[in-house]
Amino acid sequence: MTSALAVAALFISLVALAVAWWNGNSARRSADAAEGAQQAADRSADAAKDSAEAARQVASAELERDHESYRPDLSQAKFAYPRSRPKPPFEYTFVPSRRYRLRAYAGKAGEPMRDLTDGNFRAITSGVSVSIAAAEAGAEAHPDFLLLQFWPPAPAAGEEVWMCPCGRPTEPSEQPHWDMRVEVPRKRGKVVVF
């Protein structure tokens, strides 16, 4: 009977050893699977970060494109020089495609900028010609460039209301929404004389 008990004990020990070995292998496989899952999760998180960065860059490019689409188009602007005094030395004329608020300055190398809008914001209307006199009538100073600063329009009853979605300043108390420097030609070339 003792030998039967010894054989039974040996058998139980062998079964316990097999179960322990099987459990150890299962635990190792589980640990390997957990490590693989963690690596996959890390790769997924990195891919999500990369995707978010790419989406941010696309959104930024879209906002910049939208911002540029709202920029005043000065491609058809003209300089006009008078035939006689006491008219200003010249006028810069353009027709905006939408409403804006404008401040204009004349600049000459080594001299302070001259405010051509007398410290005020000029509301300009879509489709209406805008003329900016370079200096006071009779003045001899010929600026090297004009600095035009634009903001989206202030809300007005019955007027087109739009807002640039780019997030840049939109109020005149802040930096200009669009800064545009226009070089003033020295020669009269193809200009309108009035």
Model pLDDT for residues 103-130, shown as the tens digit of each residue: 999 888 888 888 888 888 888 888 888 8
Gap between the Cα atoms of 177 and 160, Å rounded: 18
The answer, as to whether pTM is greater than 0.75, is no
Interior angle at CA 29, CA 27 and CA 33, nearest 5: 115
Average of per-residue pLDDT values in the chain: 78
Q: Is the pLDDT of residue 1 over 90?
A: no
pLDDT tier at 11 (50, 70, 90 boundaries)?
confident
Residue-wise pLDDT for 40-79, tens only, equals: 778 887 877 887 787 777 777 776 777 788 888 888 888 8
Q: 162-166, long-range: CB within 8 Å, 24+ apart, which pairs?
A: 162/70, 162/98, 162/99, 164/66, 164/67, 164/70, 165/63, 165/66, 165/67, 166/63, 166/64, 166/66, 166/67
SS3 content of the chain, % helix, strand, coil (to 5): 35, 20, 45
Residue 135 has pLDDT above 70, yes or no: no
Q: Quick one: pLDDT at residue 192?
A: 43
- Give the pLDDT score at 181: 92
For residues 74 and 179, the answer to whether their CB atoms sit within 8 Å is no
pLDDT value of position 7: 74
Select the more confidently predicted residue: 184 or 11. 184
Give the CATH number of domain 74-194. 2.60.40
